[in-house]
């Protein structure tokens, strides 16, 4: 059996495995990645798409969007749900993950948005999933893989006066965020399940915050007293997001379920603006929580983002700029026979010739004749 699968450190490569119990064997190595696979009828060769993955980071300010200067591939952490770790406290630096060469591991960099200079904080230490910067901009916590591929937490001071330190743990830990009182909140694996835990920045025993398993840690409230994990559930329609207190003594009745109207899954999502009073971490909602969109829209002081856009248009607000996020969706490829490859070339040439004919006028044989001739070949 042949497949294209992701290696834990070097992206997608080709693998083969004798079904059903033999260990998989990696066929391709190196900085390039291979996506999709088709096996020749005689079983002696395979065909796959090969390429390099490159990412760029962009920043938006009052003058518009600008690409962040970086030599190589750079991006903000895809696991980072809290945006507070992206910029320095003074807003002059952007923290990102980058590498100069495809064969390099991703490390933490800081890019000065004024001068464009990039500075690597911890040479030789890679970031596996996510990182967080303290509110005073002096410390960083992050996760990194050990030689066995397991995640463990590290901490470092950004002025480099001391070397980075790994937090000792007998089980995987990941996705750290700074909490209150110099604590670090993170995910920890126990018996195959993930839980939210906390520990002092300087080290020590960890304290379990959630007694039930969670999917991932989304973010921490600004006061550092509450965490927002996504609860684990076998049924997608029962998936919930519930705030949990990081210390005993806080009320645990605050929370809300995600926006599945009427208990059924919906592909339509809305964003709501819920005002908070000074010093509050939670809005004053019903003790039953929020289970449907109507539970929110029925509150007179809650605004729907779509409604805000319409109001802005009515007031003549310039809305010519928009930021969007796109996804790549994997799809099947047709079998790579010579005839199908030639047909793809014919389609591309036909599109190009139609554009030329539209600009310069028709000359020579018609496109239909050329297509027929190429198809016969």
Find the mean pLDDT for residues 6-31: 79
Q: What is the pLDDT at residue 140?
A: 93
- Domain span holding position 22: 1-52
CA dihedral 134, 200, 173, 245 (to 10 degrees): -90
Same domain, yes or no: 174 and 291: no
Q: What is the pLDDT at residue 189?
A: 93
Q: What is the pLDDT at residue 114?
A: 87
Same domain, yes or no: 30 and 170: no
Same domain, yes or no: 121 and 39: no
Assess contact for 274 and 283: CB atoms under 8 A.
yes
Per-residue confidence band for 54, with pLDDT thresholds at 50, 70 and 90: confident
Assess contact for 209 and 187: CB atoms under 8 A.
no
Same domain, yes or no: 6 and 101: no
Find the mean pLDDT for residues 81-102: 79
CB-count exposure of residue 140 (10 Å: 0-12, 13-18, 19+): buried
**Given a cut of 50, is residue 376 above it in pLDDT?**
no
Find the mean pLDDT for residues 168-182: 89
Same domain, yes or no: 9 and 135: no
Question: Mean pLDDT lowest for which of 105-109, 191-195, 262-266, 367-371?
Answer: 262-266
Task: Evaluate whether residue 137 is within a structural domain.
Answer: yes
Task: Work out the angle between the directed axes of helices 338-360 and 367-376 (0-180°, nearest 10).
Answer: 160
Task: Give the span between the Cα atoms of 241 and 218, in whole angstroms.
Answer: 9
Per-residue confidence band for 324, with pLDDT thresholds at 50, 70 and 90: very low
- Quote the number of domains for the chain: 4
Is pLDDT larger for residue 184 or for residue 60?
A: 184
Q: What is the pLDDT at residue 147?
A: 87
Q: What percentage of the chain carries pLDDT values higher than 90?
A: 15
Same domain, yes or no: 265 and 232: no
Task: Evaluate whether residue 329 is within a structural domain.
Answer: no
Task: Evaluate whether residue 267 is within a structural domain.
Answer: yes
Same domain, yes or no: 32 and 121: no
CB-count exposure of residue 111 (10 Å: 0-12, 13-18, 19+): buried
**Given a cut of 50, is residue 217 above it in pLDDT?**
yes
Per-residue confidence band for 30, with pLDDT thresholds at 50, 70 and 90: confident
Same domain, yes or no: 19 and 146: no
Is pLDDT larger for residue 311 or for residue 376?
A: 311
Print burial letters for 223-250: b (CB count within 10 Å at least 16), e (below 16): ebbbbbbbbbeeeeeebbbbbbebeeee
CB-count exposure of residue 33 (10 Å: 0-12, 13-18, 19+): buried
Task: Give the span between the Cα atoms of 89 and 92, in whole angstroms.
Answer: 8
Assess contact for 370 and 347: CB atoms under 8 A.
no
Find the mean pLDDT for residues 5-10: 65
Same domain, yes or no: 112 and 29: no
**Given a cut of 50, is residue 373 above it in pLDDT?**
no
Using CA atoms, how far residue 156 sits from 84, 89, 137, 144, 163, in Å, is 18, 17, 11, 13, 7
Task: Give the span between the Cα atoms of 147 and 189, in whole angstroms.
Answer: 18
């Amino acid at each position: 059996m042949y497949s294209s699968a992701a290696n834990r450190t070097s992206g997608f490569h080709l693998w083969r495995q004798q079904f059903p119990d033999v260990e998989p064997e990696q066929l391709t190595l190196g900085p390039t990645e291979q996506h999709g696979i088709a096996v020749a009828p005689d079983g002696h060769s395979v065909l796959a798409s090969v390429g390099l993955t490159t990412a760029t980071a962009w920043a938006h300010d009052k003058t518009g969007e600008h690409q962040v200067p970086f030599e190589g591939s750079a991006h903000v952490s895809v696991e980072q749900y809290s945006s507070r770790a992206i910029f320095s406290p003074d807003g002059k630096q952007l923290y990102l993950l980058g590498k100069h060469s495809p064969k390099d591991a991703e490390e933490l960099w800081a890019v000065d948005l004024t001068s464009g200079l990039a500075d690597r904080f911890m040479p030789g230490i890679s970031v596996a999933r996510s990182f967080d910067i303290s509110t005073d901009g002096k410390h960083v916590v992050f996760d990194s893989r050990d030689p066995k591929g397991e995640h463990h937490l590290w901490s470092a001071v950004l002025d480099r006066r001391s070397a980075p330190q790994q937090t000792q743990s007998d089980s995987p830990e990941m996705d750290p965020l700074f909490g209150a009182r110099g604590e670090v909140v993170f995910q920890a694996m126990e018996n195959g399940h993930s839980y939210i835990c906390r520990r002092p920045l300087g080290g020590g025993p960890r304290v379990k915050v959630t007694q039930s398993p969670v999917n991932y840690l989304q973010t921490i409230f600004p006061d550092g007293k509450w965490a927002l994990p996504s609860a684990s559930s076998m049924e997608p329609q029962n998936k919930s997001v519930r705030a949990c207190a990081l210390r005993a003594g806080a009320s645990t009745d605050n929370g809300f379920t995600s926006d599945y109207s009427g208990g059924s899954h919906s592909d339509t999502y809305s964003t709501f603006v819920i005002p908070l009073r000074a010093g509050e971490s939670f809005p004053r909602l019903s003790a039953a929580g929020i289970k449907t969109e109507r539970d929110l829209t029925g509150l007179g002081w809650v605004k729907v983002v779509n409604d805000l856009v319409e109001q802005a248009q009515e007031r003549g607000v310039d809305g010519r700029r928009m930021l969007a996020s796109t996804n790549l969706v994997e799809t099947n490829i047709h079998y790579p026979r010579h005839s199908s490859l030639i047909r793809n070339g014919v389609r591309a040439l036909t599109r190009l010739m139609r554009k030329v004919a539209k600009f310069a006028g028709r000359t020579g044989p018609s496109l239909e004749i050329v297509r027929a001739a190429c198809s016969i070949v």
